[in-house]
Structure 1
Amino acid sequence: MAVVNRVSDHIQEVQRVAEGIASERDAAIAQSWLRCVSDYQLDPLVLQEAYIVPHSELKEHQERLDKLLNTARYGLNTLYRQIAQHGYVILLTDADGVTVDFQGDRATTWELRKSGLFLGAEWSEARAGTCGVGSCIYTGEAITVHQTDHFDATHAPLSCTAAPIYDVDGSLAAVLDISALQSPEPKSGQALALSLVQSCTRRIEMAALMNTFRRDWIVRLSQSPAFLDVDPECAIAVNSSGEIIGMTHSAQRLLAHIHHTDWRNPSVLLGSLLSEYFHLHINELPTLSRALPTEERLISTRSGELWFAHALAPQQLPLGRRKRRVSSEAFACLYQGDRAMERLAQQASQLSLSSLPLLLTGETGSGKEYLARAIHQSSPQKNGTFVAINCAAIPESLIESELFGYADGAFTGARGKGKKGLIEQADGGTLFLDEIGDMPLSLQARLLRVLAESEVLPVGATKAIPVSLRVLAATHQDLSLGVQNGRFREDLFYRISGARLAIPPLRARKDIVWLATKLVEKSASKPMVLSASVQHLFNTYSWPGNIRELDNTIRFALAFCLGSEILPEHLPEDIQGWLTRGSVAENRCDSACVAGDILSTLETCHWNISETARVLGVDRSTVHRRIKKAGLSRHYRPS
């Protein structure tokens, strides 16, 4: 009877909060209760047992966190040894709230499973109401949800303490939770649990950063010199240009604090210079090594705070692996001097050595297939076949037979001996699925089976054929939005996006002229150069068609250029129009001023057109155009 009364009292309290009546609960708990009612349409009167996802779905959630699980394993085992005797269990969930790892007393397996403290249990707020994991995911903060703090009275006996684990790019990766079936009444008694969980997540994030950026500078920070080298509070990964490329969550908050920005927007922090936050240049990092006593490794932030710093130099690859990585010129030919492309090439080079499926994103024509081929050429599958499939170019009526092939006599008009599909042709090599966002839903299911089972079933066949291949996919669409709209399968999305590489648009790159020169060398039948005005135009034009448009522009120009220098008049009319629009300000200048400037230079150069063009930094055609516009000749001066 007492239990029934407690449940009734709890439900009434939740209802009062939902009606806007003040509560003595922590603000985070009261706000979560409101979300449960208003956002998730949960009813406190409806008591629900914990939900455990099917085994096949659990495997998919585990695969997404496979790397993190390997990194976190030691820390989780250590934490469990500390708390097991006090009746706690450990749950590690992904960012969706699904438990992908679990440690608990086997003697209480039935009770734990019934309460949802078990492998595969989903603890999102939308599913379970206010709870440690779900509320932690929503707020991004560590939290304790103690007993009747839970929205659903079913979970009222539990005490759950959870802390977020952030990826090196600042995004939420997982949640670590320790929970107990029974615990003392005062919530304050869970303060130690909260401290233990936060300490463990901080160490896991530190290990993940160290493992990910072994080939880059890592700056570890602490406000205590005694703990700097053994247990720092946060760490930042920096590339050779001094740009921030990774961080622990504590560092994410520190950087955001220094710049007065929201830590929930990590993209603002990544790619910025370390010197924007600290009075520290990349060239000074070697002075922060262990060769110097910790007390002397003191740096200051731009906001005036002092931190002790320990800089770890990039690790050198073992000689054998170093030769293998450096010997490949596949990535070097993709860019020159562009920082964003350099970062992309470094990531792609490292990922090419793994079997992880990669999703390449970027605008149409930005060079996704070039990058895919470079990854293949640098991978262990480089001796296999690279098969590229444009999912948007093959008619829907043919795409199934093209991808999967067909058996003998599968349909009217089929070849007598059948046909090997493109997927099977990629066996032992790389399958590149370009514009995968345009693949019909019906075929997405079949492709998922190929990737999950490593076998392909031709149309009309009864026996599957085993295949071993590396999958690279590319799209210019937002596939996560496609998942939300039901146009793209969520399970396939996670299957193809083990890691994602975003290719910058051409207009954002700093090496456009270099790239244009390479395209000229590839297509020209004789030595050709780009004039200064064409180079300027290429650097200022918006390039909506990206590299594909640049390549077409170069080939167009070569068809009309009879000399050895490509000039603006050799370019397509729409690009020449851009040059005209860019010259509006010049055309509005006072004609006498323009004429005087060109005349002065002409006379200084004794009317040598080539010399005048060199002094003005333009090409010869521009000089002739300005002479004509100003009405000049050797014997005429403007009045």
Structure 2
Amino acid sequence: MQHATGAALQSAQRDVIRHSHERSATFGLFETMRPDYAVLSGAELAVKLDQSRALFAHALPVMETLYAQIANTHSMIALTDASGLILHSLGDDDFLARAEKVALRAGAVWSEEHQGTNAIGTTIAERTAVTVHGDQHYLRANHFLTCSSVPILDPHGNLSGVLDVTGDRRGYHQHTMALVRMSGQMIENRLIASAFNEKLCIRFHSRPEFIGTLMEGIAVFDLDGRLLCANRSAQFQLGIELGRLRAQTLEALFGESVDALVARAGEPACRLELHSGVGVFASVEFHARAASSIATVSNALAVTHKPSSSLAELCTGDARMQDIVERVRKVIGKNIPILIGGETGAGKEMLARAIHRDSPRRAGPFVAVNCASLPETLIESELFGYAQGAFTGAAKRGAIGRIVQANGGTLFLDEIGDMPLAMQSRLLRVLQERVVEPLGAARAVPVDFTLVCASNRKLRERVAEGAFREDLYYRINGLTVTLPPLADRTDLRAVVDKMLRDERFVGRMVGIDDDVLALFARHPWPGNFRQLSNVLRTACAMLDDHDTHIRVEHLPHDFLDELGERVQEEATPALAGGARLADIEASAVAAALKAHGGNVSATARALGVSRTTLYRKLRS
């Protein structure tokens, strides 16, 4: 049966490629032609980005998470609008250089009319997920690529854009499409969550542990019980496609009235029965418009939600983190800018958000801008905005920039060390005068915000190199804190436990074996928290339903290979020809014991295990 299903899928894929090749020919393209490499100017691209602002805002953090999972695979991630225009891309430097040669970058159009058969264009044409591998591309110039794309639908079921992962065909991995599909679902769910000002939202699944995960169904109704939207999982569970679902009412689908479910909002998961008779667990949320903001309410329509993150929650036993938190607390609310240093993935944005949530401006917006991910041609309009008619093709009403969006709240400038010098001058003026002058505007806009900046670069060195303004450095350097890399943290077990508890990667609580933690303590974690999150996410995906703890066999093979290579590089005995897991573990214990001068208690604390466990490892 499984073989038959696979054969059917392969046949369907061949049909998709064949139909796409036929369309490519009707567009007047031929295989050996030079592709259309026309790329929009920065001003034109700014207009397109503004038109797709919601898609871009919700896709960007998902793209960064996805990139952390595929980093160093000679790949790139692209986000396009519904026409195939690339709005944003990020990826490995070596592959981006090759991608530039075929205009696989922001501002280029990858519809079938322009590029022939390719994953982005064919996904748009077929409205389904598509992988195009090597010579399946219509144009020979693109044969070195393998691309996997999924459509992103807006809450009304219309095509909003496409998410794509493209790489060298020689490095193709079958699991890439699964990662792209999951990321596309995350973006769609984010779009649904932000789309409606007044709504009754039901999150449901037949298994309670799947509520709060990508597997949950999401159905949104207005206060008359009419269905507004439903995600793909909801459509599957209800057995009705979106077009027909819109004709259904809340009572017809779930057997409950609006008033009855509003009264249950905010409660733990309740039991509901679908129109098909299938029982599901459901979490009910009611969001009502109040003072121009969206508030989550329960029976009395007034539940105050505790912030999901705060400075106190970042203290899990590491002395350096405790010191950082105590220092930050002393300057919060005193108009002192904070500069956060640390390696990529060390938690700089996590700290920035905690600062915002513990500040007097917590009710205001938190606006995060990654200065390294914005193209230089767009950063000015993105940060400072532009007035009506500022340039040809500008949006009729103009656009406010990210700095103005942060008014009354916190502006977080991540990777500020990569900001172009011209923009540094304009930012310095904003910080000195507390006004923003949008492009083409006749008057300035006053702003008031808390400034938090971050960089993984050493800004003093950037100043010495002439790449960063010295006066701006001293303007943003009110309080400087540097986050320790994950490999240097002394609270590894607490960090892992907290991540498993907060993320609920499998929809339920799971623990971690001491053997696994010993391997974690040995790893250098170059990707820090992002890498740890990905390792735990993948390990949780390997768990069976009855598993309560992550064991060594659940860990990703590439993580174990990387750890084995590191041990071999350090010339650890008995690892020639490939490290066994037991050898890696033993070397981790031996190295830690040596580093702590044979002190068993200190070694156990560093590894995050009990002394009993450590003695057992030493005897084995």
**Which structure is larger by alpha-carbon Rg, 1 or 2?**
1
Q: Give the structure, 1 or 2, with the largest relative contact order (CA under 8 Å, sep 6 or more).
A: 2
What TM-score comes out, normalization by structure 1 length?
Answer: 0.43
What TM-score comes out, normalization by structure 2 length?
Answer: 0.44
